[in-house]
Structure 1
């Protein structure tokens, strides 16, 4: 094999690894479809609903009762999220909420779920500011 072929194989391998890491299931995170997410929202009433999109996206429409803590600010605002409270996360497509869940899990949070497909899958009403 020549040097160019080896480099191409390494690049393809890294790309496959990157894609796998982005889509693999996150241990400790419950992936909820829209109906299951709505059900969780109506449970005991003590869960915290967090929209991890940026403030400009949040202002365009959010699920009623959601608190906006953007993924980009999450590490600095982690103390705002009680560890003994269930957390429901969502974003536009489900990728940022999955990443937010990883941050929360690493910081000792236990009960975390996210809206699979994000607001793209949501069929309910949105509050607009």
Structure 2
């Protein structure tokens, strides 16, 4: 397994507030995204990532997230195995659930 960097919800929130150039990649299922989402995120369900590699920019920080961080870590590893530079790949620790707990406390949780 390739080492993937982690980023906490608080760190991500700080980067977004500082307008750090990055891509948020939501790899959850459509029903999950309909329930709650981080505004501005690109949505590609995990199972469709292989079909949409060309839509994911490279040479820019990519913060990948799911519900708790397991699927997103798998996607980050898949991207690394398919030529994406690990210097730019981040897994959101705790996923959108951590985001709801630490950053957007009004976000519905599931």
**Which TM class, normalised by the smaller chain length?**
0.7 to 0.9
- Does residue 54 of structure 2 align to residue 79 of structure 1? yes
C-alpha separation between the residues in 2 aligned to 1:76 and 1:33?
28
SS of residue paired to 2:52 = helix
Q: TM-score, normalised by structure 1?
A: 0.70
Give the number of aligned pairs.
Answer: 102
1:26 Cα offset (Å): 4.1
Please show how residues 1-129 of structure 1 align to structure 2 within 5 Å.
26-27=2-3, 29-110=4-85, 111-122=88-99, 123-125=102-104, 126=107
CA apart distance, 1:32: 1.4
d(CA) in 2 for partners of 1:115, 1:101: 10
Higher relative contact order at CA 8 Å, sep ≥6: structure 1 or structure 2? Answer: 2
Higher helix share: 1
Q: Which residue of 2 aligns with 1:3?
A: none
Unaligned runs of 5+ in 2: none
Q: Which has the higher Rg, Structure 1 or Structure 2?
A: 1
CA shift at 1:107, angstroms?
Answer: 1.6
For structure 1, which runs of at least 5 residues remain unmatched after alignment? 1-24
